[in-house]
A = this chain, B = another copy of it.
């Protein structure tokens, strides 16, 4: 099909992702025009420093450090944002939408925090907001929920959605590294930022789960409503116990439908070795979706990186261009049911693993057992290991049957205060 006319694209960001987006736009013009039915013309690129030397040959006159040259240019119909972070990007996107520009963004923070408002504004201004790249790199997720699984009631979404922590946990498991050493190795390998807090602390996964959950259930899940725990507390010994018990340790993002409410949480978890999420390796992402008709679907791929993310951005751009060419919004408009809220973590039922350092003497088990019983937590398995004879201490590993998280936390707290207990060295939920 011959391309009729052209669409002007403004790009914010020319880093790992932006460089790949620009390159595909500049070197794949004919293919993109054929697939979109219209030419896509890169008109302006916003960068921090126009003078910085770059591997990619972008004509210097396309570069600018002034956001107004994109936001105030009426000839730019589509704003592509791959710079990331909340402000000023949130304001830029809002301003672009207000002035009638369509938006394609890879910004998980903005979409997690302000997605429902931006989508409502876009519907009002009759423009589209695409954000496939905000979650899971090039893995088709947003489109899967918005189109393919529309005939389903989504029951649950469970994901390994942060590549950095998955890489780190994998290295701790396979090479026995400490968290610090594994993080340093991930930084050297390019899988972790200089400041890894966002990943290690589970914040990144929380943003992504907020987006996935909101789209899956058509409700507004805010990052702040999601229970969040990072992987900071995990020690190499926990991987040994996990393996012995038949589990891998993964940072899990999980959301599940309950009557009138949903559960939404991000935390490290013991995952049974035969569960597909236990087998996700390296910096890969995997999303496990259960719908009432489709059953279980698993989607796996590289969840980050310049090229996979550019695949999603440019894919969105093609889809958007097709709809603009036809003069319509091709994407379904989003609606969010405000009546469905998130269940407080204390009420969520889960199994748990406790690793407890105790005095190696009689009566310890009775004391522990009494606390668990009083908190209504039923013990599933108990292992005593690694007695340190000279210190007269031992390590107890307890796994429980499902119990409300509040009861587990209460038991954890009370056990820590028992006189024969030195410390609850580790507490992990079992998935």
- The 8 Å CB contact of A294, one of B34, B311, B317, B318, is B311
Is the beta-carbon distance between A322 and B332 smaller than 8 angstroms? yes
Q: A140-B148, A147-B143, A315-B150 are contacts. A298–B298 as well, Cβ < 8 Å?
A: yes
Q: Are A314 and B297 in contact (CB under 8 A)?
A: no
In the bound complex, how far is the Cα of B313 from the Cα of A326, in angstroms?
25
B310 and A301 contacting across the interface, CB-CB below 8 Å: no
Q: Are A138 and B335 in contact (CB under 8 A)?
A: no
Whole-angstrom CA separation of A13 from B35 in the bound complex: 35
Nearest residue (CB) in B for A307 is B293
Known A-B contacts A300-B276, A330-B330; the reply to A148 vs B315 at CB < 8 A is yes
Residue A235 CB within 8 A of the other chain: no
Give the residues in chain B near A29, CB-CB below 8 Å. Answer: none
Query: Is A341 at the interface (CB under 8 A from chain B)?
Result: no
A295 on the interface (CB 8 Å rule)? yes
Q: Please, which residues of chain B bring their CB within 8 A of the CB of A322?
A: 332
In the complex, the answer to whether B308 meets A151 with C-beta atoms within 8 Å is no
Collect the chain B residues with CB atoms within 8 Å of residue A143's CB: 140, 143-144, 147-148
Q: What residue in chain B is nearest A25 (Cβ atoms)?
A: B151
Q: Please, how many residues of chain A have a CB less than 8 angstroms from a CB on the other chain?
A: 56
How far apart are the CA atoms of A291 and B315 in the complex, in Å?
A: 12
The 8 Å CB contact of A314, one of B151, B323, B330, is B151
Does A138 lie within 8 Å of B295, measured CB to CB? yes
Residues of chain B with a CB closer than 8 A to A291's CB: 138, 311
A308 closest partner in B (C-beta): B294
Chain B residues with Cβ below 8 Å from A311 are 148-149, 151-152, 291, 293-294
- A269 contacts B by Cβ under 8 Å: no
Bound-state CA distance A93–B140 (Å) is: 30
Could you pull out 23 A-B pairs where Cβ atoms are within 8 angstroms?
Answer: A1-B333, A20-B293, A24-B151, A32-B151, A138-B293, A138-B297, A140-B144, A140-B147, A143-B143, A147-B318, A148-B311, A150-B314, A150-B319, A151-B318, A293-B311, A294-B301, A294-B308, A297-B299, A298-B299, A298-B300, A322-B332, A326-B329, A327-B328
Q: Which residues of A are at the interface with B, using a C-beta cutoff of 8 A?
A: 1, 20, 24, 28, 32, 34-35, 37, 132, 137-140, 143-144, 147-152, 276, 279, 291, 293-302, 305, 307-308, 310-315, 317-319, 322-323, 326-330, 332-333, 335
